[in-house]
Amino acid sequence: MTQDLPKHARERIAEMRAKKLFTSDLSVSEFLLVKEAGFDPLGLVMGSSIYQIAPTIPNLAPGQPGCEITDMTRALYHARELAMNRMEEEADELGADGVVGVRLTVRLGTNPTKQWWILYREWQDWARSTGFPRSSTLLGMGWERWPDVAAPMWSHYCQQLGWSPEPPAPWTRPRAQTAYSFGPNAAEFLAIGCAVRHRGGESYKNIHGKPFQSDLSGQDFWTLIRSGYRPVGFVMGNCVYYVPPQLLQAPPADSCELGAYTHSLYDARELATERLQDEAEALGATGIVGVTFAEREHSGRFAPWNAGNGALQSGEVIELFVVGTAVVPSDAGGTLPKPTLVLSANDEPEPLPGSSSQRGE
């Protein structure tokens, strides 16, 4: 619903429409290729959602090998959906046929213990490279009190170099990675893309009458269109699966496969793949290209974060997701000329930081 979009979003889109001012986060090459493929970039569209995802350890019967944490799966799914739907809404407002170059990013709330660990490692690296003895930097289980060792070390170092007043230590610098603080279990889901419309007025909307979304770059979009296909949607399937600690155990001397754990991983993948395919079928697609398969394991989702063997106490949480672009053959058809092998005399230009030539090719 349009009421869902914040006030400034509606203003901005209305102005873009009124003044016919296009904005795009496509690089120059992408921009021109999208035009060459017969589409006009209309404007940058985005959607976001800040979502609370509190994990719960499922109660498993002793023999059961592990199971999906459906609440978390649904929560992750819902959060992404909210962000993507708002982006789609903005695109619809602009009268777009679709959105290309969709980037979906997830920023998790910072886990304080983990941030502390990262600083500990930074201090260690500095101390070793500066020449302090290794033994003085190994704090083992008491690592959390590392500033007690680090501060005097830094003071000593500054004194030796004659730096006075003492500057702040490197590990106290502002972090390069943006930190968010909405709460320990909150995450921000952000979707950004460039809305486009077919110049000739042909409808490229999907079967629900909404603009298609795809994570294809400008180049990939051009190639896809010219080879006789068109994107119908950005499809995803995910699964959050819990593996209880006993599945990680084996007699110490035995070299053996952990069959039950392996089975759980396959189960998670089946669930995710099924959902991916269901989404694509719902859009009437004939195929999915560019599938990215991401599998991450987090034992720290329940217990306080603990490097090393946390999983042996709390169990493992497997997060598996697959995303891709669903496609159908286009009525326009298309034939690509045969590619040529070349030896380019062109160097890859050094992208200027922050410049448009950094994206796309």
Amino acid at 190: L
Minimum distance from residue 160 beta carbon to other proteins (Å): 20
Kindly state whether residue 107 participates in binding other proteins, applying the rule CB under 8 A. Answer: yes
Residue 82 has phi, psi (to 5 degrees) of: -60, -45
As given in the structure block, the two tokens for residue 79 are 């959060």
Binding flag, residue 108, other proteins (CB under 8 A): yes
Bridge partner list, 188: 50, 107
The interface region with other proteins, picked from 92-100, 145-153, 200-208, 321-329 by CB under 8 A, is 321-329
Q: Which one of residues 123, 204, 241, 261 is an interface residue with other proteins (CB under 8 A)?
A: 261
Asked if 125 interacts with other proteins (CB under 8 A), we say no
| Minimum distance, C-beta of residue 210 to other proteins, in the bound complex (Å) | 20
Binding status of residue 260 toward other proteins by CB under 8 A: yes
d(CA 75, CA 85): 15
In sequence order, what are the beta bridge partners of 49? 189
C-alpha span between 134 and 264 (Å, rounded): 41
Q: Return the DSSP state at 53.
A: -
Q: Is 213 in the site for other proteins (CB under 8 A)?
A: no
| Candidate list 77, 116, 117, 157; residue touching other proteins; CB under 8 A | 117
Cβ 183 to other proteins shortest distance, Å: 5
* Interaction between residue 155 and other proteins (CB under 8 A): no
Q: Which is nearer to other proteins, 153 or 288 (CB)?
A: 288
Q: Which residues of 137-160 are buried (b: 16+ CB within 10 A; e: fewer)?
A: bebeeeeeebbebbeebbeebeee
Q: d(Cα 286, Cα 230) in Å, to the nearest integer?
A: 11
State the nearest-atom distance from the C-beta of 198 to other proteins, in Å.
15
What does R_g of the chain's alpha carbons equal in angstroms?
25
**Distance separating alpha carbons of residues 276 and 293, to the nearest angstrom:** 11
Angle at 35 between CA 31 and CA 37, to 5 degrees: 120
- Among 59, 201, 256, 331, which residue sits at the site for other proteins (rule: CB under 8 A)? 256
Asked, as a colleague might, if the bond just before 165 is cis with ω within 30 of 0, I would say yes
Q: How far is the CB of 156 from other proteins (least distance, A)?
A: 19
- Residue 211 or 310 with smaller CB distance to other proteins: 310
Check residue 340 for interaction with other proteins (CB under 8 A). Answer: yes
**Which letter does DSSP use for residue 239 in this model?**
E
Cα(167)–Cα(263) distance, rounded to whole angstroms? 54
| Beta-bridge partner residues of 359 | none
Residue numbers 48-77 binding other proteins by CB under 8 A:
48-54, 65, 68, 71-72, 74-75
Q: Counting contacts by CB under 8 A, is residue 33 touching other proteins?
A: yes
Choose which of 2, 175, 208, 303 interacts with other proteins (CB under 8 A): 175
165 binds other proteins (CB under 8 A): no
Q: How far is the CB of 43 from other proteins (least distance, A)?
A: 9
Task: Determine contact, residues 84/200, Cβ cutoff 8 Å.
Answer: no
The answer to whether 246 contacts other proteins (rule: CB under 8 A) is: no
Q: Say whether residue 352 binds other proteins (CB under 8 A).
A: yes
**Residue choice 1, 3, 8, 164 for contact with other proteins (CB under 8 A):** 8
Q: Residue 64 carries which DSSP code?
A: -
Nearer to other proteins, 82 or 149 (CB): 82
Footprint (CB under 8 A) of other proteins, residues 263-292: 263, 265-267, 269-271, 273-274, 276-277, 280-281, 285-292
Please give the Cα distance from 9 to 158 (Å, whole number): 50
